[in-house]
Amino acid sequence: MALLELRNVSKIYHLGGEEIRALDDVSLDLGNGEFVSIIGPSGSGKSTLMHILGCLDTPSKGSVKLDGTEIASASQRELARIRNRTIGFVFQFFNLLPKLNVVQNVELPMIYAGLNSRERRERALQALDLVELGNRLKNRPSQLSGGQQQRVAIARALVNNPKIILADEPTGNLDTHTGELILALFRKLAAEGRTVILVTHNPEIAAVTPRRIEIRNGRIADNVDRKLAGLDRIVPNAAPAVAPA
């Protein structure tokens, strides 16, 4: 059984009588431990798909099963619990809380998981060590570079040990070099057996993932655009653009 099963999922927005099908009859299986990129042109529905995969949103039609549990009919409370325990998010704009320092930001998901402060501190330090930020604990996000902020966000995504890491344009706001470092982190997580799903415009990133899903007009494209997927740059099965960390 796949970790995530989408069956005939549609997301329909109504704007002044007009119907926008952000997702249109999407069916998709994602296995445990898969490293996947979701690509497609702007406005095609990538973020919408990611919101549904991440239990931030429920579909208008169709069924979404995570580990066999139906999401489409889950309550807000259940969705919050799944987001807390099973999913880690990384966003394009980092989305750290500006008034909290690095450790406090990383501790945030554990507060809602009900962990005590000693345990929270311990696990936050572990996660921050993993992203090599163990020395910036007391800094505010505004005192960090973009790449450092994104690493804090990754530490926060990891800290509740989720099965799935979802990232929406995680390198979109970073320069190439920093982006590569971040990407290396994701590859490491994937190598550890976590399910990693990256939404990206960046062909270089798409090129790294073993599986690519292209969305066009809210539907899954039958064949992947080679240019968008970065396949024109590399020979299949060649060495990845970025060396594993």
Ligand X SMILES: Nc1ncnc2c1ncn2[C@@H]1O[C@H](COP(=O)(O)OP(=O)(O)OP(=O)(O)O)[C@@H](O)[C@H]1O
Q: 60, 95, 139, 173: which one contacts another protein (CB under 8 A)? A: 95
Q: Which residue is nearest to Mg ion (CB)?
A: 47
Q: Indicate which of Mg ion, ligand X, another protein, none lies near residue 181 (CB less than 5 to 8 Å, by partner kind).
A: none
Locate 68 and state its tokens: 């066999």
- Residue 47 engages ligand X in binding (rule: CB under 6 A): yes
Q: Is 144 helix (H, G, I), strand (E, B) or coil?
A: coil
Binding flags for Mg ion, 46-65, as an x/- string (CB under 5 A): -x------------------
State the residue for tokens 């979404």: 64
- Identify which of 57, 55, 54, 56 has the alpha carbon closest to the alpha carbon of residue 13: 57
Query: What's the chain's Rg over C-alpha atoms?
Result: 18
Q: Does 93 bind ligand X (CB under 6 A)?
A: no
* Whole-number Å distance between alpha carbons of 233 and 10: 33
Identify which range of 31-39, 45-53, 148-156, 221-229 contacts Mg ion by CB under 5 A: 45-53
**Contacts with another protein: how many residues (CB under 8 A)?**
25
- Residues 40, 150: Cα–Cα separation, whole Å: 23
What is the closest distance, in whole angstroms, from the C-beta atom of residue 160 to another protein in the complex?
A: 8
Phi, psi of 48 (to 5 degrees): -60, -45
The secondary structure element, H or E, covering residue 46 is helix 46-53
Closest CA to 218 of 93, 89, 59, 74: 59
Cβ–Cβ < 8 Å for 52, 59: yes
Q: CB of 145: closest distance to another protein in angstroms?
A: 20
In the region spanning residues 92 to 111, those forming contacts with Mg ion, defined by CB under 5 A, are: none
Residue 45, binding choice from another protein, Mg ion, ligand X, none, Cβ under 5 to 8 Å by partner class: ligand X
| Six-digit token string for 215 | 């969305």
SS3 74: coil
Nearer to another protein, 139 or 241 (CB): 139
Determine whether 163 is exposed, middle or buried from the number of CB atoms within 10 Å of its CB (0-12, 13-18, 19+): middle
Nearest approach, Cβ of 75 to another protein (angstroms)?
9
Among residues 148, 160, 200, 202, which is the contact residue for another protein, using CB under 8 A? 160
Q: Which of 69, 99, 119, 227 binds another protein (CB under 8 A)?
A: 99
Q: Map the footprint of another protein across residues 49-68, applying CB under 8 A.
A: 51, 56-57
Q: What residue ranges bind ligand X (CB under 6 A)?
A: 13, 15, 20, 22, 40, 42-48
